[in-house]
Amino acid sequence: MDNQDIEIKVLMEAVHLKHGYDFRQYAGASLTRRVKKCLADTGLNNISDMIPLVIHDKAFFNSFLHNLSVNVTEMFRDPQFFLSLREKIVPYLKTFPFIKVWSVGVSTGEEVYSLVIVLKEEGLYEKSLIYATDFNDSVLESAQKGIYSIDNIKTSTLNYQKSGGKKSFGTYYHADYNSVIIDRSLKKNIVFANHNLATDSVFGEMNLILCRNVLIYFNKDLQERVLELFKNSLRAYGFLCLGSKETINFSGIVDSFVPIVKKQKIFQKKVNPAFEGVK
């Protein structure tokens, strides 16, 4: 282990002991890249120089935490996923009188609002409760506000159309100078909450869990922990949705799920070995 690795290890230990955020099992290359970006932003000489600051300086720690978060998202990102959700999963969810959904690593909220639009257009939103979680309070605050740059609206509109959207995308927001503001009606059944996948426990009995492009930032041990958490948070025949570069293959939960849409990484929880999917 070289000096830089040691410094990062001690820094992450300090963050965990002082603030309770556990980055100790994040993928090494990704974590190193983000820590070095923090270092460059501060102008400090060594990673170890950040240790007293994350312990004693609240403003510095908040900035540091924001830099460690991966907040790359957009409305209806990967439209084919949302089209598959609409066509393959929603018909099954409609058979329930009420559904619970967990959107994990919600970041600034674009994915959860995209999900809500699908549920609304398919007549499911009024009987849904959506939990939108992240470990970063600042991005959760942004998600709750639902205010986004108008520069991205063309991409969002095109994504929405490709995802099987049934209305004008403008129905779901109003423009205000250089921003678009998500319509208030899309927020009423969403509960925004802080949840840390590295340390927190099972989250209810969900019909649907979306955790897309989060596991790629974890090492193998943390991935196993999180996948087990998802298995235990899903009710019988519930659905787990992962990102395009993520999989449950070679994990401890692989025998508990069946792929429903392989390309889009949508899996359904088994109840018995004979189960073949979507009952």
Q: Is the pLDDT of residue 68 over 60?
A: yes
Tokens matching residue 201: 């426990």
Specify the CATH class of 79-269 in words: alpha beta
Beta-bridged to residue 175, according to DSSP, are 180
Predicted confidence band of residue 70 (pLDDT cuts 50, 70, 90): low
170-213 pLDDT tens trace:
999 998 888 999 999 999 999 999 998 888 888 889 999 999 98
d(CA 76, CA 201): 28
Q: 210 near 111, Cβ under 8 Å?
A: yes
Q: 192 near 144, Cβ under 8 Å?
A: yes
Q: Is the pLDDT of residue 84 over 90?
A: yes
pLDDT of residue 275: 63
High-pLDDT (> 90) share of the chain, %? 58
222-238 pLDDT tens trace:
899 999 999 999 999 99
Backbone torsions φ then ψ of 58, nearest 5 degrees: -65, -40
For CATH 3.40.50.150, list the domain ranges present in the chain.
Answer: 79-269
User: What is the average pLDDT score of the chain?
Assistant: 90
Of 184, 72, 180, the C-alpha closest to 120 is: 184
